[in-house]
Amino acid sequence: MPNSPGSIPHHVAIIMDGNGRWAQQRGLPRIEGHRRGVETVRTMIDATKALGVRYLTLYAFSVENWKRPATEVGALMGLLEFFLKRELSTLVRDQIRLRTIGRTDQLPEAVRRQLDATIAATAHFTEYTLVLALNYGSRTEVVDAARAYAAALAAGTIQADDNSWESFARHLYTADLPDPDLVIRTSGEYRVSNFMLLQAAYAEFVFTPVLWPDFGPAELEAAVTAYGKRERRFGQTSEQLKPDASR
């Protein structure tokens, strides 16, 4: 849908970047930045919900993040487990559904157990969905989807002459999720880093120099305000989008 002025994005997706630099600037170990990043996650759940956003996707751990030092990977997994344990009762209280995208079967067992418990306890909520991208990468997502699609073709559950995007998209991790409307990347980097490459085909992007631990409700509101001023054309012309235009 084209934006009307002041539109609130239905689905916000965030590349949370800058935790390490936040810590280094203060002479702290990198993990302190991640710890502070977890508190920003908590704040952003409340802040997006208050604005009327219905889906929040957070890029919490990429397929490529396994290449970091083992101590940092271990600490990130520990923080994830801590976050899930701490948040369970709040997510239930606030009627927030938890979902994941990514190859979560490769995460440590303790994290998987906590994820399964939280997903099961919140599966029936419909107003707001928190999506954690974990062991996620768009390229592996395409590989997984292509395999599932080929299997469905072989089984005859997809017609051989069905060339539609919709049929293929039903095999992505995001099959039952709307595409992101707004993608935010913090920390002054201008990259998409293998994040929702297909789903963000028509998303609006906002890049901010603010490091993730410092990203707060004011920065979120600024990004949403910028989004509200954009004209989303989805391949059409500006003229065609005018309400009285003959198409």
| Active-site annotation, residues | 17, 65
Tell me which stretch binds ligand FPP (CB under 6 A): 76-84, 157-165, 170-178, 190-198.
Answer: 76-84
DSSP three-state, residue 96: strand
DSSP three-state, residue 128: strand
219 binds ligand FPP (CB under 6 A): no
DSSP structure string for 164-227 = -HHHHHTTSTTTTSPPPSEEEE-TT----TTSSTTTTTT-EEEE-SS-GGG--HHHHHHHHHHH
Residue closest to ligand FPP when measured from CB atoms:
20
The single residue among 18, 102, 137, 180 that binds ligand FPP, judged by CB under 6 A, is 18
16 binds ligand FPP (CB under 6 A): yes
The single residue among 17, 181, 204, 219 that binds ligand FPP, judged by CB under 6 A, is 17
Q: Which is nearer to ligand FPP, 111 or 158 (CB)?
A: 111
Q: How far is the CB of 19 from ligand FPP (least distance, A)?
A: 4
Token readout for 55 is 């889906």
The alpha carbon of residue 89 and the mean position of all alpha carbons in its chain are separated, in whole angstroms, by 22
Q: How far is the CB of 156 from ligand FPP (least distance, A)?
A: 40
Binding track over 124-143 against ligand FPP, x by CB under 6 A? --------x-----------
The single residue among 37, 102, 137, 180 that binds ligand FPP, judged by CB under 6 A, is 37
Pairwise CA distance, residues 193 & 107, whole Å: 20
Pairwise CA distance, residues 112 & 107, whole Å: 6
The single residue among 11, 13, 20, 177 that binds ligand FPP, judged by CB under 6 A, is 20
Pairwise CA distance, residues 128 & 242, whole Å: 31
The single residue among 55, 83, 128, 168 that binds ligand FPP, judged by CB under 6 A, is 83
How many residues touch ligand FPP under the rule CB under 6 A: the total is 19
Q: How is the beta sheet containing 55-62 ordered, strand by strand?
A: 96-101, 128-136, 55-62, 11-15, 182-185, 204-207
Where are the alpha helices (H) located in 52-108, listed in sequence order?
A: 70-93
Q: Which is nearer to ligand FPP, 43 or 164 (CB)?
A: 43
185 binds ligand FPP (CB under 6 A): no
